[in-house]
């Protein structure tokens, strides 16, 4: 495998802003162009603007890929809370913009190269958003240049997304993406541990779903107002179907809050969100080894 590069978000954004537009393959392939270009996005706190770069959970996915594969890791804020400097929505937006810039620049330079996206946790959130953008025709990156999208613990997992391994109930805490993955639906795979609350929130857990919605909309981008309306409407529709406001009030009671605190404590102690290196998806594979093999098969 070629030496893995870790690229800062500012550098990727500069490439995006340089005005490069991906064509339909008119650029001639340079000798150094890979057959597959993998852009990997680490999870929350696995990287950061002021932290040493590191691949984190995805190292097992990208290490040891065929020599014809090139890999870039996205560095971004990777924060979740306002007191960390960037709210979740702004942090994720950095990752999406950086990944978009990396793919746009590489595919413009290498006309025969295909791209793949992989992400974990907040990185899966960002990779999935970019994949949805490409798959629904909202990106300058052509969908036919993307070979694979691999998402591990995607906070925006939809019930209809193609899952690998045991079937996780519910959906991601951040709510499903309006429109899904479009033309990339058949090339997108998601892995969610059944006990990972980030990607497996119960449909009737409205407190968590509203909290996820607030995190997703924290970038306050007016261009996404239509999306926020759809996502909030979906939660409200489900809430009404389950009994309406009395149900939400019951979930906000003191007793319910105490139970939720205990459930969250148990979830964090279980490390379910961090055990994908050993989480079995069948066939002798863990989540990480399966994703590695799947990405390698597209080289």
The pLDDT tens digits for 72-119 are 999 999 987 766 768 888 899 999 999 999 999 999 999 999 999 999
Q: Which pTM value belongs to this model?
A: 0.81
Output the average pLDDT for the chain.
84
Tell me which long-range contacts 216-222 makes (C-beta under 8 A, separation of at least 24). Answer: 216/88, 216/89, 216/156, 216/174, 216/175, 217/89, 218/87, 218/88, 218/89, 218/90, 219/87, 219/89, 219/90, 219/92, 219/93, 220/89, 221/89, 221/93
CATH of 5-202+273-296, one of 3.10.105.10, 3.30.465.10, 3.40.50.1820, 3.90.700.10: 3.40.50.1820
User: How confident is the model over 207-231, as a mean pLDDT?
Assistant: 74
Each residue of 197-211: pLDDT tens digit? 999 998 888 778 777
Q: What is the pLDDT of residue 48?
A: 87
Please give the torsion angle defined by the CA atoms of residues 7, 144, 34 and 153, in that order, rounded to the nearest 10 degrees: 50
Higher-pLDDT residue of 248 and 288 is 288
Chain-centre distance of CA 203, in angstroms? 20
Each residue of 139-171: pLDDT tens digit? 999 999 999 999 999 999 999 999 999 999 999
Q: What is the pLDDT of residue 130?
A: 98
Residue 12 has pLDDT above 90, yes or no: no
Distance CA 214, CA 93 (A): 15
| Three-state DSSP class for residue 148 | strand
User: How confident is the model over 178-202, as a mean pLDDT?
Assistant: 95
**pLDDT confidence tier of residue 28, bands split at 50, 70 and 90:** very low
Place of tokens 């025709």: 137
**pLDDT confidence tier of residue 278, bands split at 50, 70 and 90:** very high
Residue 26 has pLDDT above 60, yes or no: no
Query: How far are the Cα atoms of 89, 97, 155, 210, 257 from residue 238, in angstroms, in the given order?
Result: 24, 32, 18, 12, 21
């Amino acid at each position: 495998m070629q030496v893995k590069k870790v690229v800062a978000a500012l550098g990727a954004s500069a490439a995006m802003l340089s005005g490069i537009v991906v064509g339909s393959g008119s650029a001639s392939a340079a000798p150094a162009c890979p057959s597959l270009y993998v852009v990997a996005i680490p999870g929350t706190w696995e990287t950061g603007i002021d932290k040493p770069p590191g691949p984190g959970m995805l190292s097992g996915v990208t290490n040891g890929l065929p020599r014809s594969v090139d890999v870039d890791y996205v560095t971004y804020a990777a924060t979740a809370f306002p007191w960390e400097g960037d709210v979740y929505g702004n942090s994720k937006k950095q990752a999406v913009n950086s990944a978009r810039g990396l793919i746009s620049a590489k595919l413009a330079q290498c006309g025969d190269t295909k791209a793949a996206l992989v992400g974990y946790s907040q990185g899966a959130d960002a990779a999935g958003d970019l994949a949805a953008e490409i798959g629904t025709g909202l990106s300058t990156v052509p969908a036919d240049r993307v070979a694979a999208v691999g998402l591990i613990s995607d906070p925006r997992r939809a019930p209809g997304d193609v899952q690998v391994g045991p079937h996780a109930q519910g959906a991601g805490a951040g709510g499903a993406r309006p429109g899904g993955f479009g033309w990339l639906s058949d090339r997108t795979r998601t892995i969610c541990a059944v006990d990972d609350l980030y990607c497996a929130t119960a449909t009737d857990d409205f407190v968590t779903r509203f909290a996820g919605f607030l995190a997703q909309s924290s970038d306050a981008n007016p261009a996404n107002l239509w999306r926020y309306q759809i996502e909030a409407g979906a939660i409200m529709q489900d809430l009404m179907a389950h009994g309406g406001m009395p149900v939400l009030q019951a979930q906000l009671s003191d007793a319910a809050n105490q139970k939720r605190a205990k459930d969250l404590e148990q979830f964090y102690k279980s490390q379910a969100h961090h055990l994908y290196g050993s989480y079995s998806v069948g066939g002798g594979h863990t989540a990480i080894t399966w994703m590695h093999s799947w990405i390698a098969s597209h080289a």
